[in-house]
Amino acid sequence: MITIILAAVVGANILTRHISSIPTPFFLIGMGIILSFLPIYHGFNLDPSVFTLAIIAPLLFNEAQNSSRLWIGRSISTILSLAVGLVVVTVLIVGAGLHFLYPAIPISLAFALMAIVTPTDAAAVNSIFETNPIAEDQAGTLQNESLFNDAAGIVLFDVALTAYISGSFKIDTAIGLFLWEFFGGLIFGGLLGVIIVSIRLFLVRHNDDTPVILVTIQILTPFLVYLLAEKIALSGILAVVAAGLAQGAERDRLRLTSSRMQIVTSNVWEILSGLLSGIVFVLLGLSLINVVQAVHKSINPDFSLFKMTITGISLYFAQLLVRLLWSHYLVRNSHHNERSWKDSLVMALSGAHGTITLSLAFSLPVFIGGTAFEMRGSLIYMAAIIILLSLIMPTLFVPLLLPSTDPRKHRFQWVRRMIQAAITDLLREEEHKPEAQIVIDSLEQQLILDAIPKRRIQRRLMNETLEVETKAIDELHNQGKITDEEHDYYIEFIQINNFSADGQLWRNIWLRLRFSFHIGRTSRDFGRAQDTFLTTPVELEEAYWRDQFQKHGEDILPVEQVGFNAVMNFLRTNDSTHGVESNFVKRFYRTRHRRMNSKDADPEIVYQMFMRAFHSEYELIQNSLIEGKIDSPLAERLQQRISFDEINYIQNIEVFRY
């Protein structure tokens, strides 16, 4: 079951990359709905305690450790206003209104339902803000609000649900419980986080900073903190948030020490948070069918599917109105001025719901006092309606309120510029041309992969270049410049070369078998045949045919030069129409030509050429930043890419030497 859900998360993220106009949560929910029809998920029930521990705790811990404590300190009043004040006011006003208009729902359950749907999930609308960026202070406010209002919503939910189950409500008891869980959770989580950070720093000082030790400790931290906090009746979620903030302080101390561990940690958490966030929405889709069926089968006319749908929609817009007014009149911008109505509406629409809302909804008990909790399905259904609307509304209206830009397009333009700068620098290399060409080929491959060539056009160009080269060799033969044997051998060589260039798996295996069998038969050496099978066929062809010509007292190099020149002249005429595909084919022929005409490259020189290329890329970014052509965020993204390329090269240095 878990494997299928993870596959659904991967599938939804792939769809998002190709249909960017639809936010990822919708694909994830759709995947969940599709999975709900599989027999293995029939009767699927979500255990809320496991859900909160296994998914919500690590997600909030990661968000907290990546948050700026300086920004939180400067904006603490705004954050508390939204995360506590707005949550309490929304629960009281909208909850009381729900009970007044719908007396069938007790006021304590009305408060519990509103506590469920007040926590926000800023990550749920991040895909919208990629093409419609919001102001930096708005983005920071939304991110940090979602950290703290989760805990406020959970505490209020616990208070309201306890009042409903017990049948009594005391204001002083409720306030005391709220303060104990809220502030007690923060203090306890902060202290435990500091202790764990101290242990990790102690290990770093004693050179025990291997990823397997420190990353594992960090992954275990949110689970340990959550369980211990819940044991003493504190807010486990707030304790996890506080521990995450303490964890973020570790990076400030480490700075450039234990760099490898910090990079590994960042990558591990990026993968974990992406998977866990995706699982949340897949689970929502999985549960929707069961929830709808439960509401539809309800015999109580007060909880019909139609009434619950209308009520859920009404609650969303009532909540949206309260958030809009609060954002406009009680939340100041970075200059401490009143927000415009447009900014306030963006803030209101950006209050999307997701992980915590879903977790709290499924935390509603199945049985109360030994009898089935009749309203459970209806409350979960209304919460699901509010979640869906909170995702749909910003998708439809935020793009209308904000200017539309595509920062990725601008970034990719600069990626191409910095790669071209490195290529241009290496083309000036005179002393070590073969080694420089190896690096140039790798850089050109980056350009090809970024642009994604079309396979059909690429194959067509390869076939056309084969015809062009064949004609050039036929002309040499007709002029009497090469013998019949040279002509036949070379034609066979370029046909096999074209066959292997396609890159299909079955062709690769066939060529490996063909070469290894032939080498083994001619050399009568099984070890050499085995080595041949394990070597890429493209790397074998040039050496094999060069040897064949030499055995007959002939030279393949002048023939190959004529064919190479003919192909390159032909490809220059196709640059304007199919530049990406043409670059791929050019790289293939240049690599073949280099291997034909040069001896083995010097690995030390190849390393120097790669370092020179990376330096050229860094230099372009630095100069462009100084001249004001790019801003700091873009420069950081580009330099990060260069650093990753550098690490990839160093870790896989053998791959790039030939």
183 with 323, same domain: the answer is yes
Q: What percent of the chain has pLDDT over 70?
A: 81
Question: For residue 391, is it within any domain?
Answer: yes
What token pair was written down for 462? 């390869």
Residue 291, pLDDT > 80, answer no
For residue 566, being part of any structural domain is answered with yes
Same domain, 165 and 305: yes
273 or 115: which leads in pLDDT? 115
Predicted confidence (pLDDT) per residue in 241-281, tens digit: 899 988 877 666 655 556 677 778 888 888 888 888 888 88
> In the Cβ-directed half-sphere of 453, how many Cα atoms lie within 13 Å?
27
129: amino acid identity, one letter: F
| The predicted structure's pLDDT at residue 173 | 74
Gyration radius from the chain CA atoms = 32
Residues 78 and 205 occupy one common structural domain:
yes
pLDDT at 229: 94
Convert the pLDDT of each residue in 574-591 to its tens digit.
655 666 777 778 877 887
Same domain, 303 and 159: yes
Whether the pLDDT of residue 545 is over 70: the answer is no
Whether residues 376 and 277 share a domain: the answer is yes
Same domain, 82 and 211: yes
Residue 522 — pLDDT band, cuts 50, 70, 90? low
Q: In terms of domains, do 251 and 106 share one?
A: yes
SS3 of 367, please? Answer: strand
Residues 52 and 363: beta-carbon distance below 8 Å: yes
- Which residue, 153, 159, 137, is CA-closest to 84? 153
Which pair of tokens denotes residue 610? Answer: 């790669």
pLDDT at residue 559 in the model: 87
Diameter over CA atoms, the chain: 106
DSSP 338: B
Tally of domains within the chain:
2
pLDDT at 520: 66
Residue-wise DSSP of 445-485: HHHHHHH---HHHHHHHHHHHHHHHHHHHHHHHHTTSS-HH
Domain boundary among 381, 404, 427: 404
Structure-model confidence comparison of residues 311 and 151, the more confident one = 311
- 156 has pLDDT over 60: yes
d(CA 179, CA 196): 25
pLDDT at 376 over 70: yes
In this predicted model, what pLDDT tens digit does every residue of 176-208 receive, in sequence order?
Answer: 877 888 889 889 999 999 999 888 888 888 887
Mean pLDDT of the residues in the chain: 81
- Give the DSSP letter of residue 573: T
Question: Would 454 be classed as within a structural domain?
Answer: no
d(CA 267, CA 262): 9
In a domain, 85, yes or no: yes
Residues 391, 538: one domain? no
> Is 356 contained in some domain?
yes
Specify the CATH number for the domain of residue 139: 1.20.1530
Check if the beta carbon of residue 153 is closer than 8 Å to that of residue 116: yes
Tokens at residue 584, please?
Answer: 């791929």
**Banded pLDDT at 43 (limits 50, 70, 90):** confident
3-class secondary structure per residue, 221-234: HHHHHHHHHHHCCC
Phi, psi of 42 (to 5 degrees): -65, 130
Among residues 335, 278, 205, the alpha carbon closest in space to that of 2 is found at 278
Residues 338, 470, single domain; the answer is: no
Residue 315's pLDDT is what? 95
Residue 648: is its pLDDT beyond 90? no
Q: Is pLDDT at 125 greater than 70 in this prediction? A: no
Domain termination residue (choose one: 557, 582, 598): 598
pTM of structure = 0.71
Structure tokens that stand for 181 in this block: 């869980």
Q: Is residue 235 part of a domain?
A: yes
Q: Give a yes or no: residue 453 inside a domain.
A: no
pLDDT at 425: 92
Mean pLDDT of 316-341: 81
Q: How confident is the model at residue 544 (pLDDT cuts 50, 70, 90)?
A: low
Q: What value, to the nearest 5°, has the Cα angle with vertex 366 and ends 364 and 371?
A: 130
Instruction: Give a yes or no: residue 197 inside a domain.
Output: yes
Task: For residue 481, give the 3-state DSSP assignment.
Answer: coil
185 with 327, same domain? Answer: yes
What 8-state DSSP symbol labels residue 256? Answer: T
- Measured in degrees and rounded to the nearest 5, phi and psi for residue 332 equal -95, 155
Residue range of the domain that includes 370: 46-120+134-404
Three-state secondary structure call for residue 332: strand
- The pLDDT tens digits for 378-394 are 898 899 899 889 988 88
Q: Single out the residue of 259, 273, 272, 215 nearest to residue 647, CA to CA.
A: 259
Q: List Cα–Cα distances, 97 to 85, 102, 118, 164, in angstroms.
A: 18, 8, 15, 17
**Coil, strand or helix: which one is 384?**
helix
Q: Is the pLDDT of residue 405 over 60?
A: no
Last residue of a domain, one of 367, 388, 404: 404
Domain identity same for 262 and 379: yes
Say whether both 57 and 186 belong to one domain.
Answer: yes
> In this predicted structure, what is the pLDDT of residue 334?
57
